[in-house]
Structure 1
Amino acid sequence: MDKKYLIMADDFTGSTDTGVQLAKRGIPVQVRLHDENGDYSSLVVDTESRNLSPKDARDKITRAVLQTNMKQFDYTIKKVDSTLRGNISDELNELNKLYESDVLIFAPSLPSIGRQVKDSVLTINGVKGLNTQFAKDPVKPLIDDNIFNILKNAFPGEKIGTFSLNEIRNTDLKFKVDTKFYAADSMNDLDLQLLVKKVLKSKLKVLWVGSSGIMDAILSIENPVVPALAIVGSVSEVTSRQVQFAKENNVKVISIPIYNVYKNESYSNYVEKAIDAMKSGQDVIVTSSATINRDELKYTQDKLKSDGLSIDEIGLIVQSILGGLGRRIIKRIKPSGLFITGGDTAKGFFDVIKANSVDIITEVATGTPMMRIKGGEYDDLRVITKAGAFGNDDLISFSFKKLKEVSK
């Protein structure tokens, strides 16, 4: 039986950007704008309380809870602003009185847009929250960037626990008998997923508090999708940063030493590494070692030139090796979609799989189209392509998420 989710958000955009995490996975969800009880598969309640006085915000929470049969949901998530604006302490205090949970987990980070928490302190694109423009908001400024302190203010006299990055990444989480409220660090998507996995192991009834990041992490555990695959042929510094960003967010990067593969005429061990990673649920990037290490580019070119090959021929070898690897991987395990960087690499791959054509579906980012392969070995596979030297650092990670959305 499918799990049912209740999200309580303090403004409309927060309601929709969290609810869309469900919709992307094909889970029906409604955003409730006015008081109304009923049965739902999943529900987002918009309390519109962020910019109210603390007392009015508490009243809104009480009214929302009384108008909702909370027992019908498997998960309850209190969505807060990822920059910690609003009446967070007051709303948590009120909701805690009304919702009978065993523990409250506060993990507000949203790493995909640079909102991270370390040692309980929120940073926004690497800058301490109180030193950003969000602390100068004329209506509801950020007044405390320490989530431990926010919980202290919400629950005076109560013991507050923390889950550090080290605990989340390397140990089992220990819940104390006399501690219900916990502030959790997270620097990337994997941290949030590990946090959710370890908390769920406890079998405790949880009130989750966070941004859309915690919703995405919960769904990654409860509604996993087939991983995506990337073939990265570009050696630009921009692409290198994009690969590194993806690696830091739990993407398996398989670096191919082109010259060694060319000389040995074998890449089966790299195929196996990719298959193993995808079977474990990881997205995979297959790339030339020259993308990761610029010194490898000169080494590869010099070695292949010494074998009498021209630059054009070297380019064709790289395309052939990466395209062949991609084909072998997809033959064994079909990904949710494919991302390819480098026009020559993309064309080389389409030739290898004997695609007849591609239908353009949409543009996921500037200069980054999504298309669907028609004909050939992998008919109907969705593919995102981009040229090498442009795009934000998170473009590959973002494209993977778009490929894994339920096909419309």
Structure 2
Amino acid sequence: MERLAIIADNLIGANDAGVQFRKFGFSTQVVLNHLELISHCAGVDVISVNTNSRTLSAEVAYDRVNQVATALHKLGFKQFYKKIDSTLRGNIIEELQGMMDALALTLAVLVPSYPAHGRIVENGYLQLVQEWGDSSVPVPVGYIPSIIRCSPSIPVAVIGLDDVRQGEKRLVQKITALHTAGIRVIAIDAVTEVDLRNIAVALCRLSVPYLAAGSSGLAGSMPIAWKVVNQETMSMRQGTMVIAGTLNQVTAEQITSMLDYPNTELIIIQSAAIYDGQVAEEQARVMTSIGSSLHSGRIPVVVIDTLLESRNNTDALSLSVQVQKHGNTVTALLGQIAKETAEQHGLCNLVISGGGTATRICQTLDITAIDLERELLAGIPIGKAVGGNCDGLHLVTKAGGFGKKNSLRKVLELL
């Protein structure tokens, strides 16, 4: 494949954007010193360079980015991504211009949105989604052309959410028409992961040479735009889901803490429906909620209601009786939910709490082995599934009683 280059204005951004490609198997290296490119380029698929230019003057930032892009192009890199801050800090327009001049490009496509971290763009306005209790409120930051200080020499236009959601054909037409009219930077709305994917598919079909620029949100879909991963493969591996099949109160506290993480959605299985023999109906209801959650770019967190209920000694005794009577039915249901989700929606990561639940899910998914990768936290490993239709799916397993209150939230941060 053609070698890929990312240029970021700080180290965190270089890491965050680079890992979006590493998770698809591409060897990826972050270069901390932009003056030492040659010694880091041999045998690497993707290089992510920290220019450390966010706080520099506009003129110096332009020069540095221009020089790095020129050097990378001479070293044989063909595809470039300009990583920017998702809140548009730094010398955005100058660094875009620096790369465009180095690569002889007349168009940059700018997508700052990072829905997983509450950064969205609608009607050209960057907004930060703030959590307030059980609701979320988008707080406007500003209009993108104004924030990045566009000028008559570098005109900026905005493509709205309606065009994004009409599909790639519409987006290609809009981008091409704006570029033909002399627009050099096009900022595109995106509110969900699906919006980012639509933009990436459009870029894949765009005949005009362009510089892709954005947060790590768009970077996660750029393998589609650059045709190094096909759309079908990415669709099979999109999304994260959490399933808690344990009744351990340690996990209950972890679930409660994790729900503060951006874009998580609690989906509760009603135990009464299972006890009444309405397993199929409850599975259908839960699957509808999971599908809606994944389609909107959220993380479904599937638990049985009894996990989150406070209980005294009498409740504990009653629960113990029910678990002995219906435990196998519950774990079988969780296994079917995992299988149906993987088949219908695809998953990249599946986080499972509870030993019996993990075993049943692996059996239902026909997983024959787990290729261990590393330990995310003490006692919480991650590995790739081997066998079945979910070969390559990342599995995170945790005993019900393992971990601290914020362990599951940290797992999501580390994925």
Whether these two folds match at TM > 0.5 is yes
1:298-344 residue CA offsets vs partner (Å, 9 max, x unmatched): xxxxxxx9xxx835423442123223554688899997664324455
**Alignment partner for residue 201 of structure 2, among 192, 197, 220?**
197
1:97 aligns with 2:109: no
Please state whether the residue corresponding to 2:358 is helix, strand or coil: helix
Is the CA contact (8 Å cut-off) linking 1:90 and 1:154 kept in structure 2? no
1:81 aligns with 2:93: no
Change in 2 beyond 3 A, CA 1:109/1:378: closer
Q: Distance in 2 between matches of 1:212 and 1:68?
A: 20
Change in 2 beyond 3 A, CA 1:187/1:242: farther
Q: Distance in 2 between matches of 1:191 and 1:380?
A: 25
Q: Distance in 1 between matches of 2:387 and 2:95?
A: 54
Report the number of matched residues. 366
Unaligned 5+ runs, structure 1: 128-143, 296-304, 403-408
* Matching residue's letter, 1:192: L
Please state whether the residue corresponding to 1:57 is helix, strand or coil: helix
**Alignment partner for residue 345 of structure 1, among 337, 340, 357?**
357
* Matching residue's letter, 1:169: R
1:170 aligns with 2:171: no
Q: Distance in 2 between matches of 1:377 and 1:61?
A: 43
1:58-85 residue CA offsets vs partner (Å, 9 max, x unmatched): 2212322332326944421111222322
Q: Distance in 2 between matches of 1:375 and 1:94?
A: 47
Change in 2 beyond 3 A, CA 1:3/1:243: farther
Q: Distance in 2 between matches of 1:379 and 1:98?
A: 41
Q: Distance in 2 between matches of 1:237 and 1:100?
A: 54
State the shift of 1:116 in Å: 2.8
Is the CA contact (8 Å cut-off) linking 1:254 and 1:284 kept in structure 2? no
**Alignment partner for residue 333 of structure 2, among 301, 321, 328?**
321
Is the CA contact (8 Å cut-off) linking 1:245 and 1:393 kept in structure 2? no
1:147 aligns with 2:147: no
Q: Distance in 1 between matches of 2:200 and 2:388?
A: 40
Q: Distance in 2 between matches of 1:378 and 1:8?
A: 33
> So what's the TM-score if we normalise by structure 1?
0.66
Q: Distance in 1 between matches of 2:343 and 2:128?
A: 41
* Identity level (%): 24
* Matching residue's letter, 2:156: I
Please state whether the residue corresponding to 2:35 is helix, strand or coil: coil
State the shift of 1:215 in Å: 1.5
> So what's the TM-score if we normalise by structure 2?
0.65
Change in 2 beyond 3 A, CA 1:183/1:343: same
Change in 2 beyond 3 A, CA 1:98/1:340: same
Unaligned 5+ runs, structure 2: 132-140, 310-317
Is the CA contact (8 Å cut-off) linking 1:115 and 1:125 kept in structure 2? yes
Question: Where does 1:90-239 land on structure 2 (aligned, <5 Å)?
Answer: 90-126=94-130, 145-151=142-148, 153-171=149-167, 172-173=170-171, 174-175=174-175, 176=178, 177-178=180-181, 179-219=183-223, 222=227, 223=229, 224-225=233-234, 226-227=236-237, 231-233=243-245, 239=255
Change in 2 beyond 3 A, CA 1:391/1:165: farther
Q: Distance in 2 between matches of 1:200 and 1:125?
A: 29
Change in 2 beyond 3 A, CA 1:106/1:330: closer
Partner of 2:137: none
1:8 aligns with 2:12: no
**CA root-mean-square deviation:** 5.2
State the shift of 1:86 in Å: 1.9
1:59 aligns with 2:46: no
Q: Distance in 2 between matches of 1:364 and 1:310?
A: 34
